[in-house]
Amino acid sequence: MKKAILGYGRMGKTIASYAQQRNHQIVYILDKEHEEGALSEAEVAINFSVPEAAVSNIKAALEQKIPVVSGTTGWLEKYEEVVAFCKTHQSGFLYASNFSIGVNLFFKINQFVAQLMHPHQSAYRPEIQEIHHIHKLDAPSGTAISIAEGIIQETDYTDWELNKASQGTLPIEALREGEVPGTHTVHYRSEIDQISIKHEAYKRDGFALGAVIAAEWLAGKEGIFSMDDILKIS
């Protein structure tokens, strides 16, 4: 399989390594100050570019009918625009805030727990905390936002807020520490006790391998997809 890598930072390099281990050919690499190969030769593109470049990079591939797997966060205010662009050009697009199989299972656990806790919402208030390495540019993480959306879907909360909580909103605390790959915790606190669920990544490899697997699945497809379609855990 011929792949394009859009964004060749630490994650892009790890993705390229896993792709090559699975006998894929990297035919195009694009980074801020580096371009190599030909995008037109790719069967599928994986985008982990910086948020400012994400939309233009995704569109460049979709315009050539090259399906795109994207894990970049921090650009989602333009998600519907990209979806419409993908449909217009009859290509394929799969966005995930996190490609780790463990995290996607955690999303489902999170929704189930939120459903269980909903009748006790007045006593137990949910809070989300995410911790990442100091190089992560956006806050909160896309994974934390996905967790918040899962809780909102099952409860009466209407939105999330970063590092504060107004009436009817979920607080997300975002911390940047050292080289932490990613830790996400949901706390349900009451006056007498606390219930918590947590996902802790030990290294970034799970994200990278998941993105490569997603690209294998997406190649040749047309439409808008998610990790649920791949893992069949809806």
Look up the CATH number of the domain holding residue 145: 3.30.360.10
Decide if 184 is catalytic. no
101-117 helix and 205-218 helix, angle to the nearest 10 degrees: 100
- Tally helices (H) and strands (E) across the chain: 7, 12
Q: Are residues 83 and 138 in the same domain?
A: no
Catalytic residue among 13, 78, 87, 136: 136
Number of domains composing the chain = 2
Is residue 13 a contact partner of residue 40, using CB atoms and an 8 Å limit?
no
How do the pLDDT tens digits run along the chain, 234 residues long?
A: 999 999 998 889 999 999 999 999 999 999 988 899 999 999 999 999 998 999 999 999 999 999 999 998 889 899 999 999 999 999 999 999 889 889 999 999 999 999 999 999 899 999 999 999 998 878 898 899 999 999 999 999 999 999 887 888 999 999 999 888 889 999 999 999 999 999 998 887 888 999 999 999 999 999 999 998 988 765
Q: Are residues 18 and 78 in the same domain?
A: yes
Q: Are residues 113 and 69 in the same domain?
A: no
- Could you give the count of Cα atoms lying within 13 Å of 150 in the half-sphere of its Cβ? 27
Q: Are residues 121 and 160 in the same domain?
A: yes
Decide if 132 is catalytic. yes
Q: Are residues 195 and 144 in the same domain?
A: yes
Which domain does 62 fall in, by range?
2-95+205-231
Q: Are residues 112 and 127 in the same domain?
A: yes
pTM reported for the whole predicted model = 0.77
Q: Are residues 145 and 218 in the same domain?
A: no
Query: Which element (helix H / strand E) includes 42?
Result: none
Q: Are residues 75 and 125 in the same domain?
A: no
Is residue 114 a contact partner of residue 126, using CB atoms and an 8 Å limit?
yes
Q: Are residues 84 and 119 in the same domain?
A: no
Q: Where are the beta strands (DSSP E) in the chain?
A: 2-6, 25-31, 34-37, 44-47, 68-70, 92-95, 125-132, 159-162, 169-176, 182-189, 194-201, 223-225
Catalytic residue among 132, 133, 184, 232: 132
Q: What is the CATH number of the domain that holds 79?
A: 3.40.50.720
pLDDT value at residue 213 = 94
Q: Are residues 169 and 184 in the same domain?
A: yes
Is residue 68 a contact partner of residue 91, using CB atoms and an 8 Å limit?
yes
Q: Are residues 87 and 64 in the same domain?
A: yes
pLDDT value at residue 233 = 60
pLDDT value at residue 162 = 94
DSSP 78: G
CA 165 to CA 160: how far, in whole Å?
8
